[in-house]
Amino acid sequence: MSVPPPPPRARSLRTRLTLWYLAILASCVLLYSLAVGLFFEAHVTAELDRRVHEDIELAARALMLDGNGQPQWLGGVLGKQIEEDEGGGHWVEVWSERGQRLLATGTLGVLDLGPPPGRWPSDLAPRTVTLSPGPVRTRAEVVQLGSTRLLVRAGVSEAGVQEQIRALWLELLAVSAGVLLLGGLGGHLLARRLLGPLARLADGARRITAEQLHERLPEERSGREVDGLRQAFNDTLARLEASFEQLRRFTADASHELRTPLTALRSVGEVGLRQAQSPEDYREVIGSMLEEVDRLTRLADELLTLARAEAGESRLRPEPLDLSALAGEVVERLGVLAEERGQTLELEAPAPAPVQGDRLVLRQALVNLVDNAIKYSPERTRVRVRTGVGDGQAWAEVVDQGPGLAAEHRERVFERFYRVDKSRSREVGGTGLGLALVKWAAEAHHGKVELETAEGRGSTFRLALPAAPAPQR
């Protein structure tokens, strides 16, 4: 079995930025050089055509017909004018309609441009002809002398112009190469400077381990984007630190919660086996052991419920419910417990509070809220359960006259195993998961649970859910 080759290593971001910068710069320089070179070629070509046309005009002004009707130059004036106005490198010739060259003069020696086109004035556009002296730009125009039509053709040497064009292209090539060299170096330095903070961020992140989550990446002014990335990473570290701390606290609390009933089971069993006892004594020992087993069972069930909820495996069975009727069932069930403590449990449900939810989950959430209020309220006090509908929400709240909660406990009472008074909580038999289950039940139904409390003034827990349309009668 052949082993696939490892994937090729990707280029570094610094290299890619440099290459992109160089490619964009090269494109701009290339377009600029082409534009300048082509514009210059067009300009000098147009200038040559203008010079050729001026030579033709000079020749036309210098032509005259002799007594035999043959064209002649006016006393050599043409050659002198061309030399003074345009400089050397010119050629002018005159042709008859029959294709006979009648006159020719210029500074390019004797040129043979060939016969003119057969039909005038077609095909008389400027063109470049390559001859022994070099390239020559030519142009022909028809001149009328009385009743005689003549063709005047002029040529100008392109050698100097071609040399200028080659020199310009060489200059553009040299300048472009220099610009690209300096641009590539500048792009590399710029990418190095811009990506330096990212490299330092990576080095700092590598040094932070699970045992060093309290550390943070150092602050430095590196630009809005990099500063935002650093802040996001530090925020993530803060959330991870809080999660790890919560996990450690949960592990310690869960171990303690499990150890307490297990220790009680072991102690009760050892006492029961230490000496022979009557059946009634054994029955009492077994009853105590079953109470601890029941505590363990409830703790395991609640932990399993929360674990499934966090894993997304908990499936609700929604149905139309009346939150007021559900609260009435809970009050009826827990009324005996309140009477045992000399408390008054009251229900205030003036109207139905329709919701769409899971009956068992919402009922258990209300049981936990009312049970907590009864456990933590003093004797001969009143616990009220109120329901209502408003602002698109159906709500149920439990109001007690207990000791209330200090500000530092308000946000944490919904955490698993969090206890304000740990020793008293175990005395009343709680698992420390009741309010965590209430919070999950509210959020699973797209609602929320709120707490209003003040130390020494009691607490109000409010379970608010989206209201459902009232059933049609």
Query: What pLDDT, on the 0 to 100 scale, is given for residue 472?
Result: 53
Query: What pLDDT, on the 0 to 100 scale, is given for residue 468?
Result: 83
Looking at the whole model, is its pTM more than 0.85? no
Query: What pLDDT, on the 0 to 100 scale, is given for residue 385?
Result: 93
Instruction: Provide the CATH number for the domain formed by 224-310 in this structure.
Output: 1.10.287.130
Q: How far apart are CA 188 and CA 201, in angstroms?
A: 20
Q: Helix, strand, coil % (nearest 5) of the chain?
A: 55, 20, 30
Residue 220's CB: how many other CB atoms inside 10 A? Answer: 12
Contact 96, 150 (CB under 8 A): yes
Contact 327, 355 (CB under 8 A): no
Query: What pLDDT, on the 0 to 100 scale, is given for residue 190?
Result: 79
- Chunked in runs of 10, what are the mean pLDDT values of the chain (473 residues)? 55 77 88 92 90 88 82 65 57 86 82 71 74 84 86 87 90 90 84 74 74 72 73 80 71 64 72 72 76 72 67 78 92 89 90 91 90 88 92 92 81 73 52 80 90 86 88 53
Contact 464, 447 (CB under 8 A): yes
- Please write down the long-range contacts of 272-281, taking CB distance under 8 Å and 24 or more positions apart: none
How far does Cα 373 stand from its chain's mean position?
A: 48
Q: What CATH homologous superfamily does 319-466 map to?
A: Histidine kinase-like ATPase, C-terminal domain (3.30.565.10)
Helix (H) or strand (E) holding 12: none
Q: How far apart are CA 470 and CA 267, in angstroms?
A: 55
- From 463, 456, 451, 450, select the one nearest 406 (Cα to Cα): 456
Query: What pLDDT, on the 0 to 100 scale, is given for residue 369?
Result: 92
* 116 cis-preceded (ω within 30 degrees of 0): no
3-state secondary structure of 400: coil
Any idea where the domains of the chain sit in the sequence? Answer: 14-113+120-165, 224-310, 319-466
Please identify which residue in the block is written with the tokens 């500000």. 407
pLDDT in tens, 412-433: 788 777 766 654 444 555 567 7
Query: What pLDDT, on the 0 to 100 scale, is given for residue 84?
Result: 47
Q: How far apart are CA 461 and CA 464, in angstroms?
A: 10
End-to-end CA distance of the chain: 73
CATH of 14-113+120-165, one of 3.30.1300, 3.30.450, 3.40.1000, 1.10.150: 3.30.450
Structure tokens at 6: 């490892």
